[in-house]
């Protein structure tokens, strides 16, 4: 028997921007739950000028669906897809290290 449970103690606090691409900006963020458990994550948000573009929102969600199907050590995993007062966002695994851009 499946049981649905709502989690309401989840908090997301964006710390600072870490990257920018064609569709969105990524931020280093901290999640916390129950006031004790904290974890660094990356939050990707649509650029402000795309927030009301239905096609851009659908591409953003398609990216989340596709990335959610890929499980590989060299691919950052999607942990969460959500919406808040600033719009759609993806919660991504934080991998500490040098960016691909710097390596290239």
Q: What is the 3-state secondary structure (H, E, C) of 7-37?
A: CCCCEEEEEEEEEECCCEEEEEEEEEECCCE
* 44 contact partners, CB below 8 Å, separation of at least 6: 24, 25, 26, 27, 89, 90, 92
For residues 27 and 65, give the distance between their C-alpha atoms in angstroms, rounded to a whole number. Answer: 20
Mean pLDDT score, 30-59 = 90
- Condensed to tens digits (0 to 9), the pLDDT of residues 84-100 reads 889 999 999 998 888 77
- Condensed to tens digits (0 to 9), the pLDDT of residues 2-30 reads 676 665 667 889 999 999 999 999 999 99
Q: What is the DSSP letter of 51?
A: T
For residues 86 and 99, give the distance between their C-alpha atoms in angstroms, rounded to a whole number. Answer: 26
Output the pLDDT for position 97. Answer: 85
Q: Which of these, 79, 75, 86, lies nearest to 45 by C-alpha position?
A: 86
């Amino acid at each position: 028997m499946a049981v649905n449970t709502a989690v309401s103690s989840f908090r997301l606090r964006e710390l600072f921007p870490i990257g920018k691409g064609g569709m969105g900006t990524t931020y280093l963020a901290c999640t916390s739950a129950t006031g004790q458990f904290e974890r660094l994550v990356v939050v990707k948000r649509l650029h402000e000028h795309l927030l009301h573009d239905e096609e851009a929102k659908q591409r953003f969600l398609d990216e989340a669906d596709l990335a959610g199907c890929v499980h590989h050590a060299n691919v950052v995993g999607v942990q969460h897809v959500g919406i808040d007062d600033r719009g759609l966002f993806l919660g991504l695994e934080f991998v500490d290290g040098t960016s691909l851009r710097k390596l290239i």
